[in-house]
A and B are shown apart, each in its own frame.
Chain A
Amino acid sequence: SQKIEQNSEALNIQEGKTATLTCNYTNYSPAYLQWYRQDPGRGPVFLLLIRENEKEKRKERLKVTFDTTLKQSLFHITASQPADSATYLCALMNYGGSQGNLIFGKGTKLSVKP
């Protein structure tokens, strides 16, 4: 069956360290993968998109990698800050997916302690 899994429900790290979140998928052939941030009681906010032919994408302190052989994307936040505390969602669009609909993981709740 098709699955998209974010390995940790919660991740606690110390301020200044690098947070690494994982998104694994099975039985999908994603054309691209997206990462979103969601704060409590708010809608998700788009962060980064990476295509299947891209190995890595960066935006300020954020870095995303995409390994189609391992069927995995890693999301890194360097020099993490308490303000980075939120739930992070990965989402993919499958090749042949109807009308470009995204399939979302359940999210990883990141807590950055001062």
Chain B
Amino acid sequence: DGGITQSPKYLFRKEGQNVTLSCEQNLNHDAMYWYRQDPGQGLRLIYYSQIVNDFQKGDIAEGYSVSREKKESFPLTVTSAQKNPTAFYLCASAFRRQGAGNQPQHFGDGTRLSIL
């Protein structure tokens, strides 16, 4: 079955620690996205990538880093610089058709990050 997998489902971070959230897709999608969702807030874009070895900052990139070494994978690192990391993190992917950009996004089931 094609899909997008996020792991772990729950993650705890200690003070000063970096943690990495995994996102893998087998949908052959070019574009991948990371969002943060807080209670009462819409999804906010952290980083996105349209192609391997390239990625762009979204609206709230500070304190986060990403890599895109493979088409299927787009891991997100929450660094110690992110002072309020407790949130629900969602990864998504989509096709990128030339001149369109109107493809639906497919989401994973999220990682809930909490501070110890």
A residues within 8 Å of B by Cβ?
4, 9, 31-32, 34, 41-46, 49, 51, 89, 91, 93, 98-107
- A16–B70 Cα gap in the complex (Å)? 47
B66 within 8 A of partner (CB): no
The distance from the CB of B99 to the nearest CB of chain A, in whole angstroms, is 10
Interface members, chain B 80-116 (any A CB < 8 Å): 90, 92, 94, 96, 100-110, 112
B residues within 8 Å of A by Cβ?
4, 6, 31, 33, 35, 40-43, 45, 48, 50, 56, 58, 90, 92, 94, 96, 100-110, 112
Question: Which residues of A lie under 8 Å from residue B4 when comparing CB positions?
Answer: 43
B109 & A41 in contact (Cβ 8 Å cutoff): yes
Question: Which residues of A lie under 8 Å from residue B58 when comparing CB positions?
Answer: 101
B102 & A31 in contact (Cβ 8 Å cutoff): yes
- A93–B96 Cα gap in the complex (Å)? 14
- A46–B93 Cα gap in the complex (Å)? 12
B104 & A49 in contact (Cβ 8 Å cutoff): yes
B48 & A44 in contact (Cβ 8 Å cutoff): no
User: Given the known A-B contacts A44-B90, A98-B56, A100-B96, are A89 and B102 also in contact in the complex, defined by CB atoms under 8 Å?
Assistant: no
A-B contact number at CB 8 A: 62
Question: Which residues of B lie under 8 Å from residue A89 when comparing CB positions?
Answer: 42-43
The distance from the CB of B90 to the nearest CB of chain A, in whole angstroms, is 5
User: Given the known A-B contacts A44-B90, A104-B42, are A99 and B101 also in contact in the complex, defined by CB atoms under 8 Å?
Assistant: yes
- A101–B35 Cα gap in the complex (Å)? 11
Q: Name the CB-closest residue of B to A98.
A: B56
Q: Name the CB-closest residue of A to B92.
A: A43
B102 & A93 in contact (Cβ 8 Å cutoff): yes
Question: Which residues of B lie under 8 Å from residue A51 when comparing CB positions?
Answer: 102
Question: Which residues of B lie under 8 Å from residue A107 when comparing CB positions?
Answer: 42
B45 & A101 in contact (Cβ 8 Å cutoff): yes
B109 & A106 in contact (Cβ 8 Å cutoff): no
A43 & B90 in contact (Cβ 8 Å cutoff): yes
Question: Which residues of B lie under 8 Å from residue A93 when comparing CB positions?
Answer: 101-102
User: Given the known A-B contacts A99-B48, A101-B48, are A41 and B105 also in contact in the complex, defined by CB atoms under 8 Å?
Assistant: no
